[in-house]
Chains A and B, each alone.
Chain A
């Protein structure tokens, strides 16, 4: 009996094993387009108030009567179209993927990314709530990944990430609000109010400034603290986080504890998507480079690495600053999504959140960080109707992950883009 069951599962798995990433993306695209045109009428037909936003989980928790409706909806809109389209087009998609495989990697990557962006933008077009969740998730990916460089690849335990985010958030806000917005706190716009497209052009400057200041902040922590290891770095970096927080608490001209608001609405989905892709790309290249390997060597045994001609001090310093830089960029985007920053946001709670995402997803792994950040964010948003019970479920999940997979869900895995995008042949054809 059990054997049969296994056989059935392996048959299903085999049915879908020959589908390349391109096939899944096309399937997802078809699904979101179907939802775009028929989602509302299907929800009506199933007697639901509205179409389920986050795959029906919120609906299930709030109105148990709608469970079958949500199930049918998710099956009809997502599961079945994706499976059918991906399966039926697998031969064609394999051929196309094979064609891309012969081209330089960046061509194929860009085509896939455009497709992914299109899927996401159609999906979020139906609901601004979805759009906000997606934006926050993309930012969470950046933060998680940048902390993973330090805590995962370098093997130190740094607690200053909310501080770096705060630096990025405030610096980019000073840039955008101070120069382009008439505001009560920062006064008259120094360069005048600009149209949105000009804003999009100058926004990267503000973000890069924020990232740079965060990196300088990292340097200030790094110089004294890298003489120490382990627990001591954790303490120093924690202190840095509190210093940054109380700095902004006491800077009256930035609004102090009241916070700084009225950031222009520049953090649109394409902007955040491009920055997130850039972040994943550069961090992945960084950790796969000689420097990244040196980082792993430092983590495993510092003195051995030193004797193998690795400049451990320089390596650690660069990795730390690099992580802080991306945390600063993420902080800047975060401030412009919420269009308000206050020092209280970047406290212990944010730290716990970021650390949870890193350790939930998996150390030393780019995919792990993506899975951790998106999973944690979606879960946190989906379970919100449970109120206090949510704070029992999420920590329990974390504990279970720590027990059964102590290094996180997908740890120590290479993120090989070519491997992911290449055509998948069925087991038979491979032989």
Chain B
């Protein structure tokens, strides 16, 4: 019995070694790895899903073309996808893992600022180019030569909204309702207030009300806003809060316009909000309905493949991946030394001028932030997002 067991173990061991010997060697040197640091679980899994969808579409394009051509050589491309669980600490481990273990040449993501800020620090320390498609916090790219972003900043979006409302409605008095405990709404509300007061003088924001993440009853803030003589309400909130607030405002008798920010962009907003949101305007990175050219081609393909309209995250991720692709192609030649190649890609990325993406033309500033146009979107009477006008810096 004992001898039999021993023999069996030895045979099994040899078989295993034999198996590993016959597995073909991957051509590691000829493969480019692009890391994806995205929230597939946690608070905003939809964001992770959209990013993953866009990335897989991009990868299938590259595969169809036979690989990525750089300086006459064709490289295979692999995606390394890491789930950052929508947590800052996990985003740091995911970034470290992508850089040191998966040997990513460049990284896309994290999407939300609370993860993009610490992960950007890691990428910058390891001198690995990172591009966050969706993070609007200035700290993400500030003083970090290796970190870029794919979207406009809140400091640009705030004035865009203020100018648009002034031109469109000729209003002079604004009300703002925002989440004080969430990074993005708080920042944007501040930028909007500054821009509005610059246009209409101090005190022209007549109501500046706040709540805390997770609140579901906004009646006291809304009552105060209704009592003030504000002519419209600016609401820089996410798709899960917008419907609640808009519906409660209407129930309390608010009939004036409500204007939103790029966080309204998810198709979920209108699904949850229904008729109450018809006629509202918001700022966005791109719009699927009525899109033309390459944007339309992307939207149609995405719709056909995943059965839903792409949201802004998907579009921005798509653009970010193409920026990386273009940067790699612009390198001219990869050395095969990962550390040197990362620096090459970073330098090529910083030099990109007038990149034609589906979310508009982009040129990076010295900080790694793009100069690009914003789109004003109107929610029409059928509940669709339609292009209204484009605002460029």
Contact = CB atoms under 8 A, between A and B. Distances in A.
A4 B113 CA distance: 60
B97 to A, nearest CB: 5
Interface in B82-126: 82-83, 85, 87-90, 92-94, 96-97, 99-101, 103, 113-114, 117-118, 121
A345 B23 contact: no
B180 A132 contact: no
Nearest to A339: B121
B183 A133 contact: no
A381 B142 CA distance: 30
Contacts of A136: 89, 93
A59 to B, nearest CB: 10
Interface in A121-146: 127-129, 132-133, 136
Given A129-B97, A340-B88, A68 B114 contact: no
Interface string A62-76: 000110110110000
A257 B183 CA distance: 5
A391 B13 CA distance: 34
Nearest to B121: A339
B28 A49 contact: yes
Contact of A257 (B1, B2, B182): B182
A302 interface: no
A340 B121 contact: yes
Contact of B93 (A250, A257, A381): A381
B181 interface: yes
B186 interface: yes
A262 B118 CA distance: 9
Given A338-B92, A339-B118, A340-B118, A4 B40 contact: no
Interface stretch (B14-22, B68-76, B229-237, B264-272): B14-22
A53 B118 contact: no
B25 interface: yes
A249 interface: yes
Interface string A387-423: 1101100000000000000000000000000000000
Contacts of B97: 129
A349 interface: yes
Tell me whether chain A's interface is mostly helix, strand or loop, or mixed.
helix
Contacts of A49: 26, 28
A343 interface: yes
B101 A68 contact: no
Contacts of A129: 93, 96-97, 100-101
Interface string A28-51: 000000000000000000111110
B392 interface: no
B38 to A, nearest CB: 10
A167 to B, nearest CB: 17
Contact of B187 (A258, A337, A385): A258
A127 B25 contact: no
B116 to A, nearest CB: 10
A429 B96 CA distance: 50
Contacts of B297: none
Interface string B26-43: 101000000000001100
Contacts of B180: 249-250, 256-257
Query: Which A-B residue pairs are the 8 nearest by beta carbons?
Result: A340-B118, A68-B16, A249-B181, A257-B183, A69-B20, A128-B100, A46-B20, A129-B97
19 contacts: A8-B2, A48-B20, A49-B26, A50-B103, A53-B101, A127-B101, A129-B101, A246-B181, A250-B181, A258-B117, A258-B183, A259-B88, A259-B139, A262-B121, A334-B89, A338-B92, A342-B88, A387-B41, A388-B41
Interface of A: 4, 8, 46-50, 53, 65-66, 68-69, 71-72, 127-129, 132-133, 136, 184, 245-246, 249-250, 256-259, 261-262, 334, 337-340, 342-345, 349, 381, 384-385, 387-388, 390-391
Given A249-B212, A250-B181, A259-B139, 4 more contacts: A47-B24, A256-B183, A256-B186, A385-B83
